Every structure is written in structure tokens, then in C-alpha cells.
Amino acid sequence: IILTGGVANTFLKMKGGRIGNSLYEEEEVAAAKKLEAKCRKRRVQLILPKDVVAAAHRPLEGQELETQIVPADDVPAGLSALDVGPQTLAQMEKELADCRTIVWYGPTGYIESPQFARGTMHTAEYLAHRTEEEGITSIVVGTEATQLCNKTGLGHRMAHVSMGDDASIQYLSGQSMPGVEALDQAWACFAPWEAWDKDTAVDKKIERTDKAANTVVAILAGKGKDKSKSLATARYSDDPDEEGGPTLGAQEVAARLVQRLLRNKRARKEQEKKDQKA
């Protein structure tokens, strides 16, 4: 687990580090200590930044500030950590080198300013490159990281991009999701996979084959065999050819598929009744 930003500052503060005026959550320091102990017990490596880019304050729009690269746990008084430094980025790449599935949640710095968005852009480009060149599963969640990926055209190079924040984390942690439970309950309404016609793709714009789109619904409903594909096959765009186009998460795609399926099922039943009367 690699931490950056305000979350990392909270852990650094808990460990006795000097973080200057950096953003952190004082009320979560005790929780950070418990989480560190839990990670140690479960042998989960918890990685904190080595260095940060610090400045006197957050910049106004269009403002360039004088910055310093300082150790993450020794930020001088009066300065705030606003992005990760080069040593931290190199450390991240080293730790992630052997990972085949990477979940990225949130920016590494104050991305409202281009001056402090470099760490986040570097991370996005790194994930996009490895996804294309090595076929890793890169999962980007959260509003800010998703917006940056779509704005820069990197979103379509990731395996999956979702603007869901807390919901995405809950889903990945295995917690029950109302939408998924509803799909499971509605399973009996679905026709066999082989009976689905090509019209089941969401507005015919799913960026995968019909078979892959079917897999999304099957897995979200708890019937699929290969759960590793549930996120990788669930990307949807209103305009697949447009870089930075909007994307929907797996649940949204599944919901649209279900609506289409039920409409088709009702239409087939009505047609069967008409045929019988005829």
C-alpha cells in the first residue's frame, strides 16, 4: 500500500515526523496507528513518501510559487507539502514493478495547480504505459484522478476508470452493494447467455464484444467464474473515438444492460402473444 497526500501526512505525523503546515487529519492519527499495526500483523507493506515538493501556501490560479524538495518527514515550519518528489516517484515505480493489478485512488498532490500536478501526471502516464505495454490491470477510481485521466486522454489507456469514490473502495473490499444485490435477485429474469441477441449491448456502444458485456453482468450478479474480469470489461463511453470521453463504472454499465435486457424480454413476450393470437 503506497500512501501520498494528506493520508500520508497523517501517518507521518503519527510516526513523529515534521510536516510543517501540510494538510493532515488530526482526528485520524490514532486510527492511523491502529492501521499501521494491522498492516504489520498481516505483513502488508505500508509505504510512505520519501520526499515532497513544498511551498509556503497553495497557489492562486495561474500563480507560480517558489518551491523546495524536502524529506517528507522533515518539512520546515511554514511550508506545506503540495506534491510528491522525484525520489518518491522512483520509489513508487520500483515497488509497483512486479504488480500486475494496481488500484490508484486519488491524486498525489494539489492538482488544481499544474505546478503541483506533476506527480499525479507521472503516475497516470506510468499506469497507462504499463497497461498498454505489459497488459497489467490498472484501476483508477475517484473523481479527481478520473477527471485528470479523461482530460488528458489517458483514461482510455487504462483498464478501468470509475468516478466512484467510497463506493469503489467498498466494492473492491468485498462489501455488499445494493446495485449488485439487486442484479443477483433479478437473475431469474435473464435469458440464457446464448439466447441474447446483439442488441443487448448498451446502445451498441460498449467498447467490448457482446460476450464481454455479458460477462460484466454475470460477474456483478455473482454468477461469473472469472471475477478478475469484472472491472476490466466494464468500460463504457458515449464516444469511444473521443479521447477523454465520459466513462461509467461496472455497476452503471450493468444497470443499463439489465434495463435493455428486460425491455427486450418484455418485447419478445408481447411478440409471442401476438404470434399465438395470429
Question: What are the extents of the domains in the chain?
Answer: 1-58+65-98
Q: What is d(CA 60, CA 113) in angstroms, rounded to the nearest whole number?
A: 8
Q: What is d(CA 39, CA 46) in angstroms, rounded to the nearest whole number?
A: 7
- List strand residue ranges (DSSP E) for 61-191, in order: 68-71, 74-75, 80-84, 101-105, 137-141, 160-162
- List strand residue ranges (DSSP E) for 40-118, in order: 51-55, 68-71, 74-75, 80-84, 101-105
Q: Which tens digit of pLDDT belongs to each residue from 34-49?
A: 999 999 999 999 999 9
pLDDT band at 79 (very low <50, low <70, confident <90, very high): very high
- Tell me which amino acid residue 96 is: L
Q: What is the mean pLDDT of residues 74-102?
A: 95
Q: What is d(CA 178, CA 89) in angstroms, rounded to the nearest whole number?
A: 37
Q: CA angle, corner 259, sides to 198 and 207, nearest 5?
A: 45
Strand, helix or coil for residue 224? coil
| The pLDDT of residue 221 | 38
Q: At what angle do helices 178-185 and 210-220 cross, to 10 degrees?
A: 100
| Nearest in space to 160 (alpha carbons), one of 212, 105, 231, 96 | 231
| The pLDDT of residue 219 | 39
Q: What is the mean pLDDT of residues 10-19?
A: 96
User: In whole angstroms, how large is the CA radius of gyration of the chain?
Assistant: 23
245/259: higher pLDDT? 259
| The pLDDT of residue 176 | 77
| Nearest in space to 69 (alpha carbons), one of 48, 56, 58, 55 | 55
Question: Which CA distances in Å does 146 have to 50, 92, 136, 162, 222?
Answer: 25, 20, 18, 7, 27
pLDDT band at 63 (very low <50, low <70, confident <90, very high): confident
24/232: higher pLDDT? 24
Q: Which tens digit of pLDDT belongs to each residue from 183-215?
A: 666 554 444 443 344 444 433 333 333 344 444
Residue 200 · residue 211 · CB < 8 Å: no
Per mean pLDDT, which of 130-134, 162-166, 169-173 is the most reliable? 130-134
- The CATH superfamily of 1-58+65-98 is Phosphoglycerate kinase, N-terminal domain (3.40.50.1260)
pLDDT band at 108 (very low <50, low <70, confident <90, very high): very high
245: phi then psi, degrees, rounded to nearest 5: -65, 160
- Give the contacts of 62 (CB within 8 A, at least 6 positions apart): none
